[in-house]
Amino acid sequence: MNTVITGLQWGDEGKGKIVDYLTETADVVIRGQGGNNAGHTVIAKGEKYVLHLLPSGILWDDKINVIGNGVVVDPIGLCVEIARIEGQGVEIGPEKLLISDRAHVVLPFHKELDAAREISLGDQKIGTTKRGIGPAYCDKVNRCGLRMADLLDRPFAEAQIVRRTAEVNEILEKYDLPTFTAEAVIEETFTAFERLRPHVTNTIPVLHKAWKAKQNLLFEGAQGTLLDIDFGTYPFVTSSNTTAGGSTTGTGLPPTAIEAVIGVCKAYTTRVGSGPFPTGDEGLSEYLHNLGREFGATTGRARGCGWLDTVLLRFACMVNGVTGLAVTNVDGLDEYEELKICVAYDIDGTHHDLPPADRSSWDRAKPVYESLPGWKQDTTACTEYDQLPENAKAYLTRLSELCEAPIAFVGVGPDRAQTLKR
Ligand code: IMP
């Protein structure tokens, strides 16, 4: 079954773990959007792996992993990541990792442009991961970016880098940020590119061949629906389509190739960076941080935490066409007495069951809660859905009703074995 895994909140839903679980039956694991702003933590055989650009299937010996055309690739960051994962005993040869020749390149100055933009926004800053993702996508859309295929034509790429560096330096000087010499950008980029060159190929026919051969395709989403450039809490979003549609435009496989969409959400809500967060709750944040939970894999930032928000989840299930929900981190709520679920937003006295588009409505949205009793029981040792405490099952059933999507998986801990199938 060709399956998209997509985040239903603001990222960090535990997608890596679900992807890892489903990878067992997949032949090809594909990333179609985002870049190394993503951070997927996978715990397998007791070892912890943090992946940013590498698809989670990389941890398996017999899977093909594809970084699709819709991804923005930082060659230097990817080389560091490959070396780190290889250092953990995982081999990454060209037959196992394919990088689309159409994928755009994140250049060193994109990270500084990211910083410059944040400075210019002042207290309205997005809170980006500073990985240069927005500026790289800007260059792509502005038709002045470099693609992997362009790096194969070194004279062309060098001329383009010289031109772009001069433009970029003008902006950086304005913010007193370090400027670049084109020579240094060229040197650093091509040193990294030489390591990646054997992996760069036209991935589209490879994917189509796998599809036609009825191999199992797994599309690994990064970030989440509320960070989607079209459907998220704009402008506090990332710069790609994180929703299911990004899996087709970002890979060259058509919508008809997709057979299932698994939407991943936590049993509560978290977000990093700036922007609206109606169900954010200091008490719950403190509780989860005290448990050592909810610190970002990419930046180490403490995530803001809040109650489950089914206004957002309902919308996310709609725009992604979710066929099954994967609810992770259920164990995070094990000791809580009473749990709240947001069922609507009250905006100026009117209840809304879908999120607004305009910024001022977001600022005025007050969550309308339902309360459910906690289960006050350790769930981490459960190996089957039916072993979950009755109150945990009631909480999941209510979540499913409100989102109009069935529960497919439940996560009760970080290990591969702690994913329960419904
Ligand atoms: P950017 O993607 O670095 O431009 O950051 C834009 C917004 O998306 C910021 O709020 C980031 O914190 C958020 N973001 C980007 N990637 C992730 C992720 O993998 N998990 C959670 N938030 C993310």
Residue range 241-289, pLDDT digits in tens: 999 999 999 999 999 999 999 999 999 999 998 999 999 999 999 999 9
Angle ∠(293,295,300) on CA atoms, nearest 5:
155
Nearest ligand 1 atom to the CA of 128 is: 5
pLDDT per residue over 155-190, tens digit each? 999 999 999 999 999 999 999 999 999 999 999 999
CA distance 185 to 162: 9
Nearest ligand 1 atom to the CA of 275 is: 10
- Asked if the model's pLDDT at residue 8 lies above 70, the reply is yes
Tokens, residue 201: 């190929």
For residue 286, what is the DSSP state?
A: H
At residue 410, the pLDDT reads 98
Ligand 1 centroid–CA 212 distance in Å is: 35
Q: Decide if 182 contacts 162 (C-beta within 8 A).
A: yes
Residues 6+ apart with CB under 8 A from 417: 383
CA distance 109 to 168: 7
Q: Which of 10, 72, 113, 129 to mutate to test the pocket of ligand 1 (most atoms within 8 A of CB)?
A: 129
pLDDT per residue over 279-303, tens digit each? 999 999 999 999 999 997 667 789 9
At residue 298, the pLDDT reads 67
Distances (CA, A) of 22 to 16, 26, 28, 71: 10, 7, 11, 21
- Ligand 1, atom 11: closest residue by C-alpha: 128
pLDDT per residue over 323-373, tens digit each? 999 999 999 999 999 999 999 999 999 999 999 999 999 999 999 999 999
What is the radius of gyration, based on Cα positions, of the chain?
Answer: 21
CA distance 243 to 152: 31
Ligand 1 centroid–CA 131 distance in Å is: 9
pLDDT per residue over 97-151, tens digit each? 999 999 999 999 999 999 999 999 999 999 999 999 999 999 999 999 999 999 9
- Asked if the model's pLDDT at residue 10 lies above 70, the reply is yes
In the three-class reduction of DSSP (H, G, I as helix; E, B as strand; rest coil), residue 236 is classed as coil
Nearest ligand 1 atom to the CA of 40 is: 19
